[in-house]
Amino acid sequence: MALAREEAFGRAALKRSLTAIDRGLAIRGAGITAFLLVVLLVCPLAGNAWTKTFTGAAIYAVVAASLGILYGRVGMISLGQIGMLVVATWIGARLSFASSMPFPVLLLVTGLVTMVVGVIVGLPALRLSGLYLALITLMFAGAVTVIINKWQFPNGGHGLIGHLSALNVQDIQTVRRPSSFGNDDDYFRYVVIVCVILFAVALAHVSGKPGRAWKAIRESETAALATGINITLYKMWAFALASFMVGVAGCLYAAQLAQPSAQSFATQDSITLLATALIGGIYSFWGAVVAGVFAQVVPYLFTAQGLWGWTTDANIITIIFGVGLLQVLLTAPGGLAQQFPKDMANLGRLIWRLAGRLRPRPA
């Protein structure tokens, strides 16, 4: 009898919690949909240069999200994600010239190849502490810069390297885009959709079994090992997922740039990515979106476009990122994505209280 009552109680509680989840999910889902609608419909109206900047921001957000998976979820830092982006862009460009596979297949293949490269790079440091991984990936970023300056990006030539010099200017080709999404506005929308899919894949991982294993590893590796979690496997899985995401993003980037150039990537960019990813918020996917905006839109706004005619040079932006990184690590490890809603909530409460004081008291 008591058992039946408990069961009934339990079922009612479960039903309540499910409806609660449903409501929370519904609100969040509505928010995301609204945001996406705005992005897809309104952003391209700002002009061609803005469209290109927003496309870059979307791609960058995916790379920031990959860093979020590695550091935010598992506690492994990679200072070479931009190095992986360079590798992915190269692979995407090479494959696009070497084959005529449809663009979505190209994205997938680039992602898979980059995934293999990423796992190989992370392998030496997987068994050592997080600091070693950071150092190895930083050196990897430096190594990639050296190699890409030697090889340059493919532009329609033959052989493994596939780079034609300026002497053959008439034979130089641009990386192709998906058919019927050739122009910048359409391609922007295509990129945003692919990025959303990547975010969804990452989210599925995080809320599933890998996510739970990663959480355990981040808390305590010894405890995780004791509960039978295969640490090396799950760390490699995180690396694989992060590299896959960067791989797809790289292929998108190759088509976005149309003529990728080694000069567009500097070793410092990997560190700037870390700064913006942390400032945006390493523990949430919204943080990755903020990081994309910070790293692409803000510099464009203040250096090329100008805010009401006022421009500054890129060095000031670098200083701001440095200060922002220190501030985030010191006071708000969750970054803007975590801090902003808190600040808004505090502001809301403050306003409510002030409004309460202004309301006429009952006599």
Partner 1 sequence: MHSLAMLAFGRVGWTDLKPFIPLGFAFGGIYALAGVGMVVLYRATGVLNLSFGAIGTAGALISWWFINHTGVPDVIAYLIAVAFGGVVTLLYGLLFGPAFAARPPLVKTMATLGLALVLVGLMGHLAPPLNASPRFLHLPSSDWRYRISGAIVNWTEIIAFLFAIVLTFGTAAYLRFTKLGTAMRALANDREISATLGVPVRRVEAAAWLGSGLVCGAAGLLLADQLNTLDPNTLTFNFIIAALAAAVLGRLRFLWATLAGGLVIGLVQSLLNAYFSWPNFDQSLSAYRTVTPFVIATTGLLWLGRRRVITVARSGN
Partner 2 sequence: MRSKKTPVGVALAAGIVAVAIAAFVAGPAATSPKLGMGTATTAKCGLGTGKKATGKPILLEGIFTLVPGIDFTTIGKLAQAYFNCVNDNGGINGQRIVYKLYTEQLKPDQIAALAKKIIEQDHAVGVVGNTSLLDCPVNHKYYESKGAYLIIAGVPGECFGTPNIAAVNMGPRYSNMGAADAMIKLGHVKGTLVVSSPSAGGIAAYANGGPCLVAKAAGLKCISDAEDLPLSDTNATILKLVQEAGDGGGVIMDYTAETATALLQAAGQQGVVDKVVWGQSTPVANEATAKVGSANGFDGKIYIGQEFNNLATGKPDETLMEQLSHKIGLPAQAFGQMGYLVGKFVTNALLSVKGPITFKSYNAAAVALKNQKTDILCKPWYFWKLKNHLPNNTLPTATYKNGKVVINRPCAPVPAVDPLVLQARAAEKKFHLNTG
Which positions touch partner 1 (CB under 8 A)? 75, 77, 124-125, 127-132, 134-136, 138-140, 142-143, 146-147, 150, 220-222, 225, 231, 266-268, 271-272, 274-275, 278, 313-326, 329-330
Q: How far is the CB of 84 from partner 2 (least distance, A)?
A: 19
Residue 152 is a binding residue for partner 2 (CB under 8 A): yes
Give the residue with the Cβ less far from partner 2, 130 or 157.
157
Can you tell me the distance from the alpha carbon of 211 to that of 27, in angstroms, rounded to the nearest whole number?
23
Binding mask 37-66 for partner 2 (x = CB under 8 A): ----------xxx-xxx-xx----------
With CB under 5 to 8 Å by kind, the binding choice for 140 among partner 1, partner 2, none is partner 1
How far from chain centre, in Å, is Cα 332? 20
Taken as a whole, the chain contains a residue count of 363
Say which residues have a Cβ less than 8 Å from residue 232's Cβ, sequence separation at least 6: 126, 127
Which of 42, 159, 308, 313 binds partner 2 (CB under 8 A)? It is 313
Can you tell me the distance from the alpha carbon of 304 to that of 337, in angstroms, rounded to the nearest whole number?
27
Q: How far is the CB of 268 from partner 2 (least distance, A)?
A: 8
With CB under 5 to 8 Å by kind, the binding choice for 358 among partner 1, partner 2, none is none
With CB under 5 to 8 Å by kind, the binding choice for 326 among partner 1, partner 2, none is partner 1
Give the residue with the Cβ less far from partner 1, 226 or 345.
226
How far from chain centre, in Å, is Cα 76? 15
Choose the stretch contacting partner 2; rule: CB under 8 A; options: 118-126, 229-237, 243-251, 256-264: 256-264
Which of 165, 183, 220, 327 binds partner 2 (CB under 8 A)? It is 165
How far from chain centre, in Å, is Cα 120? 21
Report yes or no: 278 and 328 within 8 Å, Cβ to Cβ: yes
Residue 227, phi then psi, degrees to nearest 5: -85, 5
Residue 163 is a binding residue for partner 2 (CB under 8 A): yes
The Cα angle at residue 265 between residues 281 and 196, in degrees rounded to 5: 45
In the chain, % helix, strand, coil (3-state, to 5) comes to 80, 0, 20
Give strand pairing partners of 307. 310
Q: How far is the CB of 186 from partner 1 (least distance, A)?
A: 36
Report yes or no: 292 and 343 within 8 Å, Cβ to Cβ: no
Choose the stretch contacting partner 2; rule: CB under 8 A; options: 17-25, 30-38, 311-319, 343-351: 311-319
Q: What letter does residue 170 receive in the DSSP assignment?
A: G
Positions 180 through 199 that interact with partner 2 (CB under 8 A): 184
Provide the terminal-to-terminal Cα distance of the chain, rounded to the nearest Å.
53
Q: How far is the CB of 138 from partner 1 (least distance, A)?
A: 7
Can you tell me the distance from the alpha carbon of 276 to that of 288, in angstroms, rounded to the nearest whole number?
9
Q: How far is the CB of 55 from partner 2 (least distance, A)?
A: 7
Report yes or no: 160 and 11 within 8 Å, Cβ to Cβ: no
Give the residue with the Cβ less far from partner 2, 103 or 244.
103
Q: Residue 194: enclosing H or E segment and its boundaries?
A: helix 184-206
Q: Give contact residues for partner 2 (rule: CB under 8 A).
A: 47-49, 51-53, 55-56, 145-146, 149-150, 152, 163, 165-167, 169-170, 172, 184, 256-264, 299-300, 303-304, 313-315
